[in-house]
Every structure is written in C-alpha cells, then in structure tokens.
C-alpha cells in the first residue's frame, strides 16, 4: 500500500480509480461500484464533465430543483436551484408565493463596475513614479487593445487605471488599481488578461524610464465588488402580513426585531446571512457562476464598516412593512460554464436567457426570499418544524424505506413531531 504517488494525473481514469480504491478505501468492490454508478452512459457528456477539472474519477450530483412563482418587477420567474439542503427550495417557493399576492419583489442594479489590481514594489521617489505612471497610462490601455476590442464593441472595457500608494501598509507597496465593465461576462479572464498586460508594459517601460526598479508581485482581479451592488425589496401593509400562526402586527414587529438583532450581533448575523446564501448559492451554482467568489465578496461587504452585520434590513413605517437586501454580485450569463454545462444552459433558459444585470436581480431576490422564509419560521413556529418534515425523507431514504413504508410514516408525522429517534422507532415498529 502506498498513500503517495507521482504522475497520478497521467493515469487513465480506471487506473486512477484502482489506485485510490486500493490505497484509501477498505471495501474496494463496493467503493468501485459506487464510483461507477455515477458515470454517465452518454460518453460525450461524461467526457465533458471529466474535462471540467483534473483527476476526475466520477461525477458528484447535487439536486437541481425549481422554485416557481417569483414575481420580480412585474415579471414571473421560476428560479432554478442546485442545492443539497432539504428545506431550501421549499422555503423559496413558499416565500415566492407569499409575496406574489402582495406585489412581488422590486429590484434595481445600482452599478456593475469590477476591480482588478497589479500589486508591485518600488522603493524610489513617489513623485517620479507618479509622473511615470501618468505618462505611461495611455500605453497601458493601448497595449491591451487586442483583448479589449471585442468588449469595447459591445460597450464594455477598461474604465480607468489609478496608481495607489500603499506604502503606509507595506514598505514600497503600490498598486495599479483598475476598474472594468464586463457586461454579461463575469469577466475574470478578461480582467486578469488585461492586468497581466498592464504589468508587462509597466515593468518594461519602467526599466527604460526609472532609476529604481519595479518588482511586480502579482496581477489579479478582486472578488470584493462593492461597486456591483444590487437591491431587492418587498413591502406591504402590515395587515396583509396575516399568517395562520400569529397576528399580523405581532409578526411584523418580531420580524423587524429579528433583523435588528442580526444587524447588531455578529453571532446571529453570520447565521442570518448563511440563510441568505442558501438561496443565493443555489441559483449561482445552477446558473454556472462561481459561488466561492460570490461568498467571499458578499461576506466582505457584510463587514465593510468594520463589524460583520446583516445583509438585509426591515422596517415598519406608516403601517407599511418593508424588507430589503443590498449585496454586491459579480455574475455572468455568457462565457465560462454557462456555454458548456448542459444543465446550466437549461437553468438560464428557464430564466429566459437573462442578461448579467437581470441575473443579479434574480439572485438577490432568491437571497431575500430565503431570509424571509427563515425569519418567518424562526419568529413563529420555530425552524425545526419545517426542517424536520423535509429531513424526514432523508431519514427514510437512509433506512431504504419502501414506497408503502414512506406513505404510512409520512402520514403518521403529519400529526406528530419529527425527530430522528421517533422516525427510526416508527420504521422499526412497521417492520416488526
Ligand atoms: C439553515 O440552513 C439556515 C438558517 O439557520 C438561517 C437563519 O437562521 O436565519 C435557518
């Protein structure tokens, strides 16, 4: 047995599986069977997935669901979601239906400017560097023409480049801080290619013009996109919040309090925002976007004032309840996985082939709806009632319950509290 290997990437897929199964898995025949159960019979489709990343040994499925009845700026959407957590799609659908009869969601994209930076070290005189930068700036832009001309034709491109002095933080540290408009593309490749070209030109020209050398440390886009904010909002008269479990006014007040708690208490804010990301990540993933980039950017935004806080806000004013979200989202509807993954294409088709701006609004709504559903449960019945109902199916599947067993047990738990042990005990009772 050897737990390390060189040249793993050069093995064929079945050799890779053999190696991993032999060296890391105790029951090799079951492991092999499980891994191969997830292969797709359509060889072309399988090859497509194999080539998304390196060293693929199988596919990892996530459920792909749809939450219908989202009324956004007067247009009705069914929102595709890829997520494993059992209650998320149900919660989104419930919130969508609730707001559909109360005017729906209103949204607005405020701006779509993205940022990239060339980080470099220079220990010479700042004024000399500044003059050099101003002189070389037109050439920095001109040298990227081969990569920017198509984007410019469509109305996007490089917006500006600034020299930023960061020597207070690190000796000799400066940045070329560039802003971009990438239209319907998320733009990572476009931005990074431009930045690497800036770095090349900047260094080459500096060698001719400056006495002190420039050392390029790195060139990379930022996933912090505070200039890509989108807003979504719902509002209605307090009396329209009527719910079977609680009086409208009590519910509205409790709801606003719950949001206020997330605004001031970071322990609650993290969980509150996690619930928002349940909705956001599911749509981001279904539409082939980079959920890690979105997560990083959104959480940084949640702490932009030095303290981690809620991404949503609620108020009651003149008898009207308003609930809103403002988040930065850098999303794409062209390029990357959007042109490659067949289910991503379906997801975008379900949404009516949206522009990146339209997708930003849909995603923000998914986050707001998810948060509304979570807070509605938390401030009324408690979260476990809904969660455990959804979890019931997971437990039944874990015990490989038959169709008939599922029917009897689901029926039983319509009037009884779902707990893991109660479900197990019902299964055992039925099987005795
Ligand atoms: C669970 O995935 C998400 C919640 O914890 C969010 C929240 O507490 O607001 C229910």
pLDDT (tens digit per residue) in 90-105: 999 999 999 999 999 9
Please give the pLDDT value at position 131. Answer: 98
Q: Are residues 307 and 374 in the same domain?
A: yes
> Is residue 19 in some structural domain?
yes
Q: Please say if the pLDDT value at position 383 is more than 80.
A: no
Q: How many A from CA of 324 to the centre of ligand 1?
A: 17
Let me know whether 141 and 188 are in one domain.
yes
389-417 per-position pLDDT tens digit = 778 888 999 999 999 999 999 999 988 88
pLDDT reported for residue 244: 73
Same domain, 191 and 236: no
Instruction: Flag whether pLDDT at 276 surpasses 70.
Output: yes
Residue 230: pLDDT over 80: yes
Same domain, 247 and 355: yes
Residues 217 and 164 in one domain: yes
- Whole-number Å distance between alpha carbons of 278 and 230: 18
Residues marked active site are found at: 85, 274, 290, 387
Token duo for residue 350: 């379900």
Q: How distant, in Å, are the alpha carbons of 190, 351, 408 from that of 79?
A: 28, 7, 32
Nearest atom (ligand 1) to Cα of 88: 2
Average predicted confidence (pLDDT) for the chain: 96
How confident is residue 339, by pLDDT bands cut at 50, 70 and 90?
Answer: confident
| Residues having CB within 6 Å of any atom of ligand 1 | 85, 271-272, 274-275, 278, 374, 378, 383
pLDDT range class, residue 388, cuts 50, 70, 90: confident
80-88: average pLDDT: 95
- Residue among 90, 268, 274, 302 whose CB has most ligand 1 atoms within 8 A, to mutate: 274
- Pair 355, 404 in one domain: no
Q: Are residues 175 and 133 part of one domain?
A: yes
**What pLDDT was estimated at residue 1?**
67
Nearest CA to ligand 1 atom 6: 275
| CA distance readout (Å), 195 to 132, 138, 164, 297, 411 | 18, 14, 15, 20, 60
What predicted TM-score, i.e. pTM, was given to this entire model?
A: 0.92
- The residue from 190, 221, 252 where one domain ends is 221
Which of 221, 256, 288 is where one domain is finished?
Answer: 221
**Which of residues 165, 197, 221 is at a domain's end?**
221
* Domain interval for residue 181: 114-221
Atom of ligand 1 at shortest range from CA of 371: 9
Which has more confidence, 297 or 2? 297
Same domain (yes/no): 181, 249: no
Q: How many domains does the chain have?
A: 4
Strands (E), 222-303: 229-237
Picking from 98, 87, 377, the residue whose alpha carbon sits closest to that of residue 251 is: 377
- Domain co-membership, 291 together with 316: yes
Predicted confidence band at 188 (pLDDT cuts at 50, 70, 90)? very high
Shared-domain flag, residues 243 and 258: yes
Considering only CA atoms, give the Rg of the chain: 26
User: Is 22 in the same domain as 168?
Assistant: no
Confidence band of 385 (pLDDT split at 50, 70, 90): confident
Mean per-residue pLDDT for 20-42?
A: 95
Pair 327, 313: CB distance under 8 Å = no
Q: Could you tell me if residue 399 is inside a domain?
A: yes
Distance in Å, CA 373 to ligand 1 centroid: 9
Q: Where are the alpha helices (DSSP H) in 64-172?
A: 88-100, 126-142, 145-153
Q: Give the residue with greater pLDDT, 182 vs 389.
A: 182
How far is the first Cα of the chain from the last one, in angstroms, to the nearest whole number?
Answer: 44
* Rounded alpha-carbon distances, angstroms, from residue 205 to 101, 135, 270, 308: 62, 10, 47, 42
Over pLDDT 90: what percentage of the chain? 91
CATH assignment at residue 170? 3.30.70.420
Write down the pLDDT at residue 41.
95
pLDDT of residue 418: 87
Q: CB count, 10 Å around CB of 282?
A: 30
Q: What is the mean pLDDT of residues 169-184?
A: 98
- Output the pLDDT for position 390: 76
Query: Is the distance from CB of 33 to CB of 17 less than 8 angstroms?
Result: no
Model confidence at 352: pLDDT above 70: yes
pLDDT greater at residue 116 or residue 339? 116
Do 374 and 243 belong to one domain?
yes
Region 108-126: mean pLDDT is: 98
Residue 404 lies in a domain: yes
Give the mean model confidence (pLDDT) for residues 220-233.
98
> Is residue 38 situated within a structural domain?
yes
pLDDT surpasses 90 at 341:
yes
Ligand 1 atom closest to 278 (CA): 2
């Amino acid at each position: 047995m050897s737990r390390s290997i060189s040249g793993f990437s050069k093995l064929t897929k079945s050799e890779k599986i053999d190696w991993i199964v032999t060296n890391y898995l105790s029951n090799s025949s079951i492991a092999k069977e499980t891994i191969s159960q997830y292969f797709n019979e359509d060889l072309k489709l399988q090859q497509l997935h194999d080539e998304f990343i390196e060293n693929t040994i199988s596919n990892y499925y996530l459920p792909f669901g749809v939450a219908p009845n989202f009324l956004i700026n007067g247009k009705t959407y069914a929102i595709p979601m890829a997520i494993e957590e059992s209650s998320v799609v149900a919660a989104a659908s419930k919130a969508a239906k609730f707001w559909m009869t109360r005017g729906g969601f209103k949204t607005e994209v405020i701006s779509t400017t993205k940022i990239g930076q060339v980080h470099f070290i220079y220990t010479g005189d700042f004024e000399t560097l500044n003059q050099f930068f101003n002189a070389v700036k037109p050439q920095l832009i001109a040298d990227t023409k081969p990569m920017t001309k198509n984007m410019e034709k469509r109305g996007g491109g490089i917006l500006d480049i600034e020299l930023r002095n960061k020597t207070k933080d690190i000796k000799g540290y400066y940045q070329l801080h560039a802003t971009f408009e990438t239209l319907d593309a998320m733009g990572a490749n476009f931005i990074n290619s431009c930045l690497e070209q800036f770095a090349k030109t900047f260094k080459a020209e500096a060698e001719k013009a400056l006495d002190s050398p420039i050392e390029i440390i790195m060139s990379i886009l930022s996933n912090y996109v505070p200039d890509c904010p989108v807003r979504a909002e719902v509002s209605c008269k307090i009396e329209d919040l009527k719910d079977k479990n609680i009086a409208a006014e009590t519910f509205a007040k409790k709801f606003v309090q719950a949001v206020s708690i997330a605004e001031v208490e970071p322990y609650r804010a993290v969980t509150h925002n996690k619930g928002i990301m349940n909705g956001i990540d599911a749509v981001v993933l279904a539409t082939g976007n980079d959920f890690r980039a979105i997560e990083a950017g959104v959480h940084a935004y949640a702490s932009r004032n030095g303290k981690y806080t809620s991404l949503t806000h609620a108020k009651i004013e003149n008898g009207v309840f308003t609930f809103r979200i403002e988040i930065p989202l850098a999303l794409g509807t062209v390029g990357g996985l959007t042109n490659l993954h067949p289910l991503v294409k379906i997801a975008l088709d379900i949404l009516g082939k949206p522009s990146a701006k339209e997708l930003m609004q849909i995603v923000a709504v998914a986050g707001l709806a998810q948060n509304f559903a979570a807070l509605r449960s938390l401030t009324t019945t408690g979260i476990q009632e809904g969660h455990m109902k959804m979890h019931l199916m997971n437990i039944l599947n874990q015990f490989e319950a038959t169709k008939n067993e599922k029917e009897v047990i689901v029926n039983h738990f319509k009037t009884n509290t779902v707990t893991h042990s109660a479900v197990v005990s019902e299964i055992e009772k039925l099987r005795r």
